[in-house]
Chains A and B, each alone.
Chain A
């Protein structure tokens, strides 16, 4: 079977952009497929359009966001077949990539596939989280980057993680300070995180940035409630406020919009579909694919760079993309072992420096139990309306894992393909069985990864031989 490209990269965020540029430089033929119409991924979303057309938005988004421009420019200048608007709906173990683009479906074959699909926000199933008027912090940031829009009315940001403070500060810069920030980090966690501070100082820029963000909020007079727990979105047809406990007292803030956030987790859909080995990362409290030193998965010809392989952030993703490409170029015969090692060394050193902040952040922002194992009446699967209690009930009936619960309750069988409930369902079952998520496992992910119409599949033009069984 002949390949159309040496390397197919899925995702044009920092990892994919950096990888594409370097791969082309090393002489590989490269296809870069991305779901969005513009390069940059989520982190540098709309980077090409914001600066020129919306200088105020650019100012609100800050200098770290500007870093993406260099990556995008380099990719644009390189010999890369960049395919924007390509929705990848299947990747086979033979490295055929099926994608929808411009109304039709196509297939391309590559000698190597680099998955650079990044992270997704960890779902935050608290009581009331499915009410209209509840969004994620990430979704608010997308609105800001794409359209320069801030949400109307009283916006309450709740949860934990760097993005929570970042968006709050960006809202302040955009002239729309949030009504409140409700942070779920317990007081004791700060003490615990201090143990990782010496290492974190190696990536001191992040600490300085965190302090800057908090100052911005304080200067703008944004109320910040720390150490909150028992979050619950109140209201009827629409969210009207957020209730929580703080210091043993029940509190409530009025809100027209509640944005929740509990950090991000790797998007494992493609590596799960391919049957790559995964491991449960206790520090990050999520599954991630097992990767070697060159970011290669357990399946020959498939690598993962960036947050999809474990959360490291945008800058780490860029370095990882380059290291991964060195490994790939060696595998494909474009670099000798010595050339590979030499070429990767600076990126690897930068990567390790950058990752020094992670243990500190992971400890500080570890998601609370109330989110990992929600109360019985909280919906965990929005598509099929399955509650946490129903999942526990299935376990009591003898369902030993997520796939049996899925067959039994249909949780994870809706249009989101289990992206949203997957992490929570594994946690709930593990907890109910007194086990851990790594042992109970995760949903088997089935294609198509993204919605595809029957007509589009019917029109699929492949010249593969029929009848494989």
Chain B
């Protein structure tokens, strides 16, 4: 189909949390914005992730953004007119062995040396005071007490709704077929017509690689499908978000009593169809971890298992920054399964880059050039 779909100052590809946040922050800076989404808002990782709002355990490079985003989360309603189901709660990583304890102590020391104080060591007594239902073999922990969790679909939907209220136009179920330079700006060819814009933002998650490639800066982005479990309601027994040190786990009890268990074990995904499939052999290991750390869980009923599609970079941190080849393009993708908490702040960074080409945040480690091969 041809024809003009619209014109905007900024065209954002991708209606996940990062795309919606970028659109919202651009609109707040007075720009006209169009978001193009091949499915519907929050269809993939943004709508179905574990919802952890976590500074704990972040890659050193992500900490400044994570800290800035945490401040936004604590007053998220001011930003999007919805509390996004955000609940302040401790995030705690549990040590199950002496080696785990040593690793956590080393981590805490490294952060302190870098000037961060949000992560603190817990001795066994303090750990069990916070998490009485833990298995007795747990020995201590590392906590970020001012973190929390939120409802992912509701959050992304709230960002989209607020963006719409500020004039952002959403083109859902609209697939981007090609992007091309047109004068100083861009033409984005979609299945429903062409969009013209002065600036382009690539927030297409696991699907971002093809746009980077089109711009002459291919990236080693792979799809990943972290699997999640939710149980039937259980009487309240845990009000922190719990992880393990030596094995993947993310564990939390929601206010309605259900328990959401994830942590990064992967199912399979298909970028062409958007379908994910659960690998139960693999998910059994997550179930084992959860039941070993919280023995009460073994008898609980699983209601549903699912996985969302997300993009992953080889070094497990995202791409955030300006294009290395094309003026007017900003990338924010490849959050490797831990982008949810970063969403509010990264949208603001993207808006800064769109408007001024600069940002105060240290984003050099996220440069798209870091995997570029020469020659």
Query: Which residues of A line the B interface, CB within 8 A?
Result: 90, 92-93, 98, 107, 275, 397-398, 400-401, 404, 407-408, 413-415, 417, 446-448, 451-455, 457-460, 462-469
17 contacts between A and B (CB under 8 A): A98-B280, A407-B48, A408-B157, A413-B303, A415-B232, A451-B303, A453-B299, A453-B301, A454-B290, A455-B291, A457-B284, A458-B291, A463-B281, A466-B285, A467-B266, A469-B223, A469-B267
Whether B118 is near chain A, meaning CB under 8 Å from some CB there, is no
Whether A407 lies near B153 (C-beta < 8 A) is yes
Q: Given A457-B280, A457-B283, are A451 and B232 neighbors across the interface (CB < 8 Å)?
A: yes
CB distance from A449 to the nearest CB of B (A): 10
Within 8 A of A (CB), among B228-242: 229-232
Whether B282 lies near A466 (C-beta < 8 A) is yes
Partner of B279 from A417, A455, A459, A464 at Cβ < 8 Å: A464
Whether B124 is near chain A, meaning CB under 8 Å from some CB there, is no
Whether B161 lies near A398 (C-beta < 8 A) is yes
Q: Given A407-B42, A454-B229, are A460 and B302 neighbors across the interface (CB < 8 Å)?
A: no
State the 8 A-B residue pairs at the shortest beta-carbon distance, nearest first. A455-B298, A407-B153, A469-B266, A462-B281, A464-B281, A458-B287, A457-B287, A458-B288
Whether B301 lies near A452 (C-beta < 8 A) is yes
CB distance from B92 to the nearest CB of A (A): 20
Alpha-carbon separation in the docked complex, A377 to B70 (Å): 39
Whether A397 lies near B302 (C-beta < 8 A) is no
Within 8 A of A (CB), among B153-170: 153-154, 157, 160-161, 164
How many interface residues does B have (CB within 8 Å)? 49
Partner of B298 from A275, A458, A467 at Cβ < 8 Å: A458
CB distance from A438 to the nearest CB of B (A): 16
Alpha-carbon separation in the docked complex, A459 to B298 (Å): 10
Whether A468 lies near B291 (C-beta < 8 A) is no
Specify which chain B residues have a CB less than 8 angstroms from the CB of A469 in the assembled complex: 222-225, 266-269
Whether B297 is near chain A, meaning CB under 8 Å from some CB there, is yes
CB distance from B272 to the nearest CB of A (A): 13
Alpha-carbon separation in the docked complex, A397 to B41 (Å): 13
Give me 18 other A-B pairs in contact (C-beta within 8 A), A407-B154, A467-B282 excluded: A98-B280, A398-B161, A404-B42, A413-B303, A415-B232, A451-B232, A454-B297, A454-B302, A455-B287, A457-B229, A457-B302, A458-B288, A458-B298, A465-B281, A466-B282, A469-B222, A469-B223, A469-B268
Looking at chain A's contact residues, the main secondary structure is loop
CB distance from A280 to the nearest CB of B (A): 19
Whether B299 lies near A448 (C-beta < 8 A) is no
Within 8 A of A (CB), among B250-297: 261, 266-269, 273, 275, 277-285, 287-288, 290-291, 297
Specify which chain A residues have a CB less than 8 angstroms from the CB of B266 in the assembled complex: 467-469
Q: Which residue in chain B gives the minimum CB-CB distance to A410?
A: B256
Whether B47 is near chain A, meaning CB under 8 Å from some CB there, is yes
Whether B117 is near chain A, meaning CB under 8 Å from some CB there, is no
Alpha-carbon separation in the docked complex, A467 to B282 (Å): 7
Alpha-carbon separation in the docked complex, A90 to B267 (Å): 14
Whether A415 lies near B301 (C-beta < 8 A) is yes
Q: Give the one of B47, B225, B261, B301 with max A CB within 10 A.
A: B301
Whether B304 is near chain A, meaning CB under 8 Å from some CB there, is yes
The A/B interface has a contact count, at CB < 8 Å, of 121
Whether B128 is near chain A, meaning CB under 8 Å from some CB there, is no
Whether B268 lies near A417 (C-beta < 8 A) is no
Q: Which residue in chain A gives the minimum CB-CB distance to B152?
A: A407
Specify which chain A residues have a CB less than 8 angstroms from the CB of B285 in the assembled complex: 466
Whether A408 lies near B153 (C-beta < 8 A) is yes
Whether B89 is near chain A, meaning CB under 8 Å from some CB there, is no
Q: Given A454-B229, A455-B298, A469-B225, are A93 and B281 neighbors across the interface (CB < 8 Å)?
A: no
Alpha-carbon separation in the docked complex, A446 to B161 (Å): 27
Specify which chain A residues have a CB less than 8 angstroms from the CB of B164 in the assembled complex: 398
Q: Given A413-B303, A446-B306, are A458 and B40 neighbors across the interface (CB < 8 Å)?
A: no
Whether B302 lies near A451 (C-beta < 8 A) is yes
Specify which chain A residues have a CB less than 8 angstroms from the CB of B232 in the assembled complex: 415, 451
Specify which chain A residues have a CB less than 8 angstroms from the CB of B229 in the assembled complex: 454, 457
Whether A452 lies near B302 (C-beta < 8 A) is yes
Whether B222 lies near A460 (C-beta < 8 A) is no
Alpha-carbon separation in the docked complex, A93 to B278 (Å): 10
Q: Which residue in chain B gives the minimum CB-CB distance to A445?
A: B304
Whether B305 is near chain A, meaning CB under 8 Å from some CB there, is yes
Whether B325 is near chain A, meaning CB under 8 Å from some CB there, is no
Whether B172 is near chain A, meaning CB under 8 Å from some CB there, is yes
Whether A90 lies near B231 (C-beta < 8 A) is no
Whether B268 lies near A460 (C-beta < 8 A) is no
Alpha-carbon separation in the docked complex, A467 to B231 (Å): 23
Specify which chain A residues have a CB less than 8 angstroms from the CB of B303 in the assembled complex: 413-415, 417, 451
CB distance from B105 to the nearest CB of A (A): 30
Specify which chain B residues have a CB less than 8 angstroms from the CB of A92 in the assembled complex: 277
CB distance from A9 to the nearest CB of B (A): 21
Whether B97 is near chain A, meaning CB under 8 Å from some CB there, is no
Whether B326 is near chain A, meaning CB under 8 Å from some CB there, is no
Alpha-carbon separation in the docked complex, A265 to B186 (Å): 50
Whether A460 lies near B300 (C-beta < 8 A) is no
Q: Which residue in chain A gives the minimum CB-CB distance to B153?
A: A407
Alpha-carbon separation in the docked complex, A462 to B281 (Å): 6
Specify which chain B residues have a CB less than 8 angstroms from the CB of A404 in the assembled complex: 40, 42, 153, 157
Whether B300 lies near A408 (C-beta < 8 A) is no
Whether B275 lies near A460 (C-beta < 8 A) is no
Specify which chain A residues have a CB less than 8 angstroms from the CB of B288 in the assembled complex: 458
Whether B172 lies near A448 (C-beta < 8 A) is no
Alpha-carbon separation in the docked complex, A469 to B224 (Å): 6
Q: Which residue in chain B gives the minimum CB-CB distance to A397?
A: B161
Partner of B284 from A397, A408, A414, A458 at Cβ < 8 Å: A458
Specify which chain A residues have a CB less than 8 angstroms from the CB of B48 in the assembled complex: 407
Alpha-carbon separation in the docked complex, A275 to B230 (Å): 21
Whether A448 lies near B279 (C-beta < 8 A) is no
Q: Which residue in chain A gives the minimum CB-CB distance to B151?
A: A407
Specify which chain A residues have a CB less than 8 angstroms from the CB of B231 in the assembled complex: 454
Whether B297 lies near A400 (C-beta < 8 A) is no
Alpha-carbon separation in the docked complex, A447 to B283 (Å): 12
CB distance from A441 to the nearest CB of B (A): 11
Specify which chain A residues have a CB less than 8 angstroms from the CB of B47 in the assembled complex: 407
Whether B287 lies near A454 (C-beta < 8 A) is yes
